[in-house]
Amino acid sequence: MDWFNSFTLTVGLTGIIFWALSTYMKRNPPHKINHLYGYRTKASMSSQERWDFAQEYSSDLLTHSGKMLMIGALVWMFLPNFPELVDVILAVIIVIAACIHSIIQTEKALKSKFG
C-alpha cells in the first residue's frame, strides 16, 4: 500500500479541493452574475435564473466528482505499484476528465431545463 504515489496524491488532493470548493459554493453561492466567481459560461450567464440553476447544479456535480476522485485515490493505494510516469499520466487524465464531465453535464442540464 503506497500512500504517497503521484496518482494518490494528485487525484486524492484534487478530490479534496473539489469537495471543499463545492461546500464553500453551496454555503456562499454567487448571487449575481459576475465574471469572477462561480460557474461561468455563456449559457449560465445569459439570465439570472440560469445563473442560479447552474451554481447549484455545478456545485452538486463538484461534490460528486470530489467524492469519486477521493475514492479512486483510496482504491489506487491498494493496487500494485505502477511506474511513476503511468501514475502521473493517469492522474492528469482522470482529473481533466472529471472537470470536462462536470462542464458537459451542467451545460446539458441548462439546455434541458431552459432550451
Three-class secondary structure of residue 39 per DSSP: coil
pLDDT at residue number 9: 94
Q: Is 41 left (phi over 0), alpha (psi -120 to 50) or beta?
A: beta
Contact present, 102 and 59 (Cβ < 8 Å): no
In a domain, 34, yes or no: no
- CA 74 distance to own-chain centroid: 17
In a domain, 107, yes or no: yes
Q: With 70 as the cut, is the pLDDT of residue 46 above it? A: yes
Residues 6 or more apart whose CB falls under 8 angstroms from that of 72 comprise 11, 15, 94
The residue to which cell 462561480 is assigned: 38
Domain housing 69: 6-29+42-114
pLDDT grade, residue 30 (50/70/90)?
very high
| Number of domains composing the chain | 1
In a domain, 71, yes or no: yes
